[in-house]
Every structure is written in structure tokens, then in C-alpha cells.
Amino acid sequence: MSRTLSYREAMREAMHEALANDPRVFLMGEDVGRYGGTYAFSKGFLDEFGPERIRDTPLSELGFVGAAIGAALGGMRPIVEVMTVNFSLLALDQIVNTAALYRHMSGGQFSVPLVVRMTTGAGRQLAAQHSHSLEGWYAHIPGIKVLAPATIEDARGMLAPALADPDPVVIFEHAGLFNMEGDLPDTRDDLMVDIRSAKVRRIGTDVAIITHGGSLSKALAAAGQLAAEGISAEVVDLRVLRPLDTAAIVAAVAKCRRAVVVDEGWKSGSLAAEVMARIMENVFYELDAPVARVCSEEVPIPYAKHLEDAALPQPEKIVAAVKGLFA
């Protein structure tokens, strides 16, 4: 049996379950309480769980992420909601220079079981300051796990193992997915999600399309178009950006002998570049063509819809990149 949920509903259900089952879990962030969350992820939580566990914070990411680190060190299991990824830059010192390093700098004496959720990505005409895809920045940092749920099952199932992890976990939720609907199993065992491994979302033989987050649906759409033209594409959803599942990447590329990496981040210094480097290090001699990538254009994301669409990876760009490998 299964039921239909939106991405937003799946994440909300995961947080509700965590709050209901573990008194150490609490949620904090801007507008998570009385307003019900900027994206309605915590609607109704304040009335049900009270202000001690659903905490509205001042507009100070540096302050409330730091407070959450202290709570985690004290035995709590905080979920911090950062409204959008660009605002997380105000908390970089706390995430990168404190939470990520405590275990190392304490010689293993302390851990920081903290989950930071943040909205990422473009595609909704929110202009340059609210359309960043900075997952690659965080995936660069030792000491944290970085997750990018792109499906209903991952939105529902990644939070519990993230909260159980003794070290900080950063979850990137692409805003373009929030209203996406899908089927979810009813049984609890089927909701368990591995937060260490990539997952093949479509099996193919001719080219591996490797992506994550908001670009997964575009990669799958491109694979459908390619199939109609006789090209079989395997679509790999990285979903765990740190640590990267190098074995899954290598297996897909060795099988298909061609690869396209799709990343909504900018090309320069991107996560796509890291994936390409691992392909070259591990499976270079299996390739029948150079690895290609489709990234956002090297510009601040425009506000105008037609320009925004032109700046971002799209199925048509992915199809063109794949066909270029067979030219």
C-alpha cells in the first residue's frame, strides 16, 4: 500500500515524527512557530509541541545556529531551519569553523548531533540573492554530511538517520520540489533511507547522467527524450554530496562509457567538477568520449523568467550535451 504526499508534506511528516518520538528533538529558526514556517513545513507545530520545542528565533543566523550547536553538545537533537541558503552565509563560521570541527579538535570527546535544513536553488523568479545553489561549498568541508533529497521518499526518510548521526548534517531542500507529489509506502521499514549512498533512478546502457536535487527531474525528463531517439540513459541521483559515493559514480560510468554531470551550481569550482575529477581518477580508460557537464551559466541568476530559464540547466541542454558525446 502507498499514499500520495507532496515533498513539503513528506518533510513535515518526518519532522513531526521526530518531535513526537524523541523529547530531545526541537525545531528552531525564523518564523517556524507562529507563522508555521516560511514554506509551511512546521504549520501547526507550535500549538501541538509548544514554544519550548518550536522556537522562533531573531533574525540572526550566526546566533541561533550557535545556540543550536550548544544545545547539541548538551545532549539535545536540534533541527535548525535556515530560510534560504544565501542566509546560511551568515552562519558559515558556526557551521564550518565550529560544528564541523568539534569532534576533531576535541580528540573525539565531543560530537555535535545537529541537523541544519535550508532551502536551495532557483527557478521561482526570486532573483540573484535568493537563487543560490551552494551545496558544493558545504560538500567541500570535512566533518559534516551533506544531503540533497530530490524525491518524496528521501524527503520523508532522510531526516531520521540525520538526527541519529553523531555529527552535523546539512540538508539542502530545493524550493522547486516543494509542491511535487509522489507515492510513499505505508510501512515504516520502507521509509528507511540510506544517507551514505547514491541511487540509480533510471537504468540505462549508453550514457550515465549524474545529478542531484532540483536537477534530477530534468535529468529524468532528458532521459525520456533520449530514449525516444534510441539512446539509453542511466540517471544517478547522488543525493549524498558529502561523502560522495564514488563507487556508484564509477560503476555507472564504467557500464555506460559516457557521462554527463548536471549541477545547478556554477561551473567554476563546482560539485560537477569534483565528480568529473573522480571519474577521471578512477575510470578514465573506460570512457569512449570526454565527460560533459551542464551547469548554470556564469552569471547571477536573473529575475526575468525567460532569462532565469536560460541561465539554469534544462532538459534540452542535457539532451544536447548527451548527443555531443556521440558526434
Domain CATH for 174 = 3.40.50.970
Q: Give me the catalytic one of 9, 30, 61, 81.
A: 61
The reported pLDDT for the residue numbered 4 is 93
Q: Do 259 and 304 sit in the same domain of this protein?
A: yes
Q: How many domains does the chain have?
A: 2
- Please indicate whether residue 316 is annotated as part of the active site: no
Closest CA to 260 of 312, 305, 222, 286: 222
- 159-165: average pLDDT: 97
What is the predicted pLDDT for the residue at 2?
82
Per-residue model confidence (pLDDT) at position 245: 98
Whether residues 174 and 309 fall in one domain: no
Residues 172, 228, single domain; the answer is no
Q: Is 30 a catalytic residue?
A: no
Same domain, 177 and 229: no
pLDDT exceeds cutoff 70 at 190: no
Measured from the Cβ of residue 278, the count of other Cβ atoms closer than 10 Å reads 16
CA–centroid distance for 226 within its chain:
26
| pLDDT at 192 (0 to 100) | 81
Instruction: Give the chain's mean pLDDT.
Output: 96
Q: Is the pLDDT reported for residue 157 higher than 70?
A: yes
| Domain limit, last residue, from 191, 226, 251 | 191
**Final residue in a domain of this structure, among 145, 166, 191:** 191
Q: How far apart are the first and last CA of the chain?
A: 45
- What is the band of 188 on the pLDDT scale with cuts at 50, 70, 90? low
3 state SS of 169 = strand
List pLDDT tens digits, range 193-221: 999 999 999 999 999 999 999 999 999 99
The range of the structural domain enclosing residue 229 comes to 199-324
Contact criterion met (CB below 8 Å) for 236 and 201 = yes
152 and 296 in a single domain? The answer is no
Whether residue 228 has pLDDT greater than 90: yes
How much is the average pLDDT of 290-311?
A: 97
Name the band, by pLDDT with cuts 50, 70 and 90, for residue 1: confident
Q: Same structural domain for residues 183 and 219? A: no
Whether residue 159 sits in one domain with residue 87: yes
Which of 130, 132, 174, 212 does the annotation list as catalytic?
A: 130
C-alpha cell at position 183: 507515492
pLDDT in tens, 129-153: 999 999 999 999 999 999 999 999 9
The predicted model gives 242-259 an average pLDDT of 98
191 has a pLDDT exceeding 90: no
pLDDT at 72: 98
Residues 110 and 228 grouped into a single domain: no
Which pLDDT value is given to residue 273?
A: 98
Q: Across the strands, what pairs with 55?
A: 28
| One domain, residues 61 and 34 | yes
Predicted confidence at residue 143, as pLDDT, reads 97
Of the residues 127, 160, 191, the one at which a domain ends: 191
Contact 118, 88 (CB under 8 A): yes
3-state secondary structure of 30: coil
With cut-offs at 50, 70 and 90, classify the pLDDT of residue 18. Answer: very high
| CATH value at residue 281 | 3.40.50.920
User: Is the same domain home to 19 and 154?
Assistant: yes
Specify the pLDDT at position 327.
85
Same domain, 156 and 219: no
Residue 93 scores a pLDDT above 90: yes
In percent, the amount of the chain with pLDDT more than 90 equals 96
Residue 106 has pLDDT above 80, yes or no: yes
Pair (206, 63) in one structural domain: no
Residue 103 has a CB neighbour count (10 Å cut-off) of 17
